[in-house]
Amino acid sequence: MTAPAAPSPPAQATLRRALGQFPIVTTSTGLAFAALEYLAAAGLVTYVAGDSAWIPIGVAGLLALMAYGFFGELNGMFPTAAAIRIYMQRAMDDRIALTITFTYMSTIVLVIASDAFIVGTALARAFGEPPWVSSLWIIGLLGISVTTNLRGVTVAGLLQDLATTIVVLATLVISALALLHSGHALHNPIQPLHGHSAADLVEAIALGVFLYSAFEWVTTSAEEVRRPESIHRGMLMSIGILCVVCALATVAMSHTLTHHELSSAYPQLYLGVAAIGHSGMWVMAGVTAVTALNTFNGGFITASRFIYGTAREGSLPRQLARLNDRAVPWVPVVVLGGASLLVALAVALSHTWEVLVAVGAALETMIYAVAAFCALRLRSRQPDTPRPFRVRLLPVLGPVGVVVFAMLAAIASVSVNNHFNPAPLIIIGIGAALSAFYVLRILPGVRAKEEARRAATPRRRPVR
């Protein structure tokens, strides 16, 4: 081995292919703006009076800003794709951290499944096919997604930017046109409680938080950015964009759609019709399909790589770290695809997408509460760790965040379509129980086996 002398190294090397600000904004917005957004927005309308849905969305936006602060501080401390694992491990007992992480990761399966269901249903509707055909679309969409992932094909950055831009602009334009074409004034735009209770408004806010959810997943791109602050700025811009688009889309839906249309599995198609007639349905069917591009790409990559990393770390069975010849962790991809397919088909058969929305809302608000706790706890446990982004008044905002998000999670988990329904809580409870069972009963065995395997492998490094 030769080790030739080199010219003096640059003080700070920059990546050849680093991400700038725009891709971070589109990634954050694209991950949050899944097809499920339309159903959650339509569902939110039923909780408040008239056209006042923008109010809970605005309040939820303020709460999302608080969550942005917590994630911003944590991401600044640990600018890595494995950040969630690191900060939770350092803020709490590792068994609790792993249980929460595994439960939270199920959100990704829910989002992929719901997008497959919504896109499948919307396409079946647009083509005038009977409802059962949506199941074929779901199988086809997930099949294509799993296959392309296994072949190592990912959506190129430019295509992802374009997809998000199309979705956001089309939703804005269609919503604005629907409002303009309605020809009548807004009803109760500033009276959300007219004929509704305060509890309804709180539930609407919980659903509103869900409209912003996943904006924080962009923190997994922290290792790819040209400037670290791009992540913080990107999340902030994304919250602003989501606030405007969701508020406008929701008001347009409440103003132009009937109760039957709002409670359907494709309210966005009706919104398109209200805006520009029959062709609007095709526009929104196309936009719905485009949302899946970001969700499937981001969801499969983020979740499968996280599962792979956790398996390599020794916290999941080694089989989940198997790679194919394209260096893709094929077992996690297949497991995610299979789980998503089962959930999507179950939802298609049972027509219970509102339950899916509630589960997603509860899990997301739960993780926001956990982020608040971690940011607060690490202030005392790791006071000297550099914090490029520091939340002001964290001693006040931290506990407020924990309480508010935990309360919203509790409310969202027992409320479906403005009715008491414990189904989301039961689903989350089962997921958490399975995660806890794995962490407490199975994981010690997995780790012991891994330790034994390593102990049996002699060290190769020469002793000097």
Partner 1 sequence: MASIEEICEAFADWRTRSNDNPRLSKMVKGWDRVIHFTASDMGQGFTMLVKDQLLSELVVGYHDQPDVIVTGSSEDFCDMFWGDLNPSEKYMSGEIKLAGSQQDVMRIDAISMVAFLDQ
Rule CB under 8 A: which residues touch partner 1?
1-10, 13-17, 78, 80-82, 85-86, 89, 152, 154, 220-221, 223-224, 301, 305, 308-310, 312-314, 321-323, 325-329, 459-461, 464
Q: Where are the beta strands (DSSP E) in 203-355?
A: none
CB atoms inside a 10 Å sphere around CB 181: 14
Question: Under 8 Å CB-to-CB from 156, ≥6 apart: which residues?
Answer: none
Min dist CB 226 to partner 1, Å, is 10
Min dist CB 213 to partner 1, Å, is 21
Burial call 109-133: b when 16+ CB within 10 Å, e when fewer = bbbbbbbbbbbbbbbbbbeeeeeeb
Closest to partner 1 by CB, 184 vs 325, is: 325
Closest to partner 1 by CB, 58 vs 317, is: 317
CB atoms inside a 10 Å sphere around CB 21: 16
Closest to partner 1 by CB, 228 vs 422, is: 228
If you ran DSSP here, which 8-state letter would residue 301 be given?
H
Closest to partner 1 by CB, 1 vs 393, is: 1
Closest to partner 1 by CB, 154 vs 418, is: 154
Closest to partner 1 by CB, 197 vs 324, is: 324
| Closest among 297, 299, 265 to 122, alpha carbons compared | 265
Min dist CB 374 to partner 1, Å, is 14
440-447: which pairs have CB atoms within 8 A and are 24 or more residues apart?
440/95, 443/95, 443/98, 443/315, 446/314, 446/315, 446/316, 446/317, 447/314, 447/315
Closest to partner 1 by CB, 194 vs 447, is: 447
Closest to partner 1 by CB, 1 vs 198, is: 1
Min dist CB 16 to partner 1, Å, is 4
Q: CA–CA distance from 197 to each of 34, 58, 123, 192, 453 (Å)?
A: 29, 18, 37, 9, 60
Min dist CB 365 to partner 1, Å, is 26
Min dist CB 331 to partner 1, Å, is 11
Min dist CB 99 to partner 1, Å, is 16
Tokens 């409320």 belong to which residue? 415
Say if CB 266 and CB 58 are below 8 A apart: no
Question: Under 8 Å CB-to-CB from 85, ≥6 apart: which residues?
Answer: 97, 101, 306, 309, 310, 313
Closest to partner 1 by CB, 326 vs 351, is: 326
Distance between CA atoms of residues 242 and 252, nearest Å: 15
Say if CB 316 and CB 303 are below 8 A apart: no
Min dist CB 46 to partner 1, Å, is 39
Min dist CB 361 to partner 1, Å, is 27
Measure CA 160 to chain center.
16
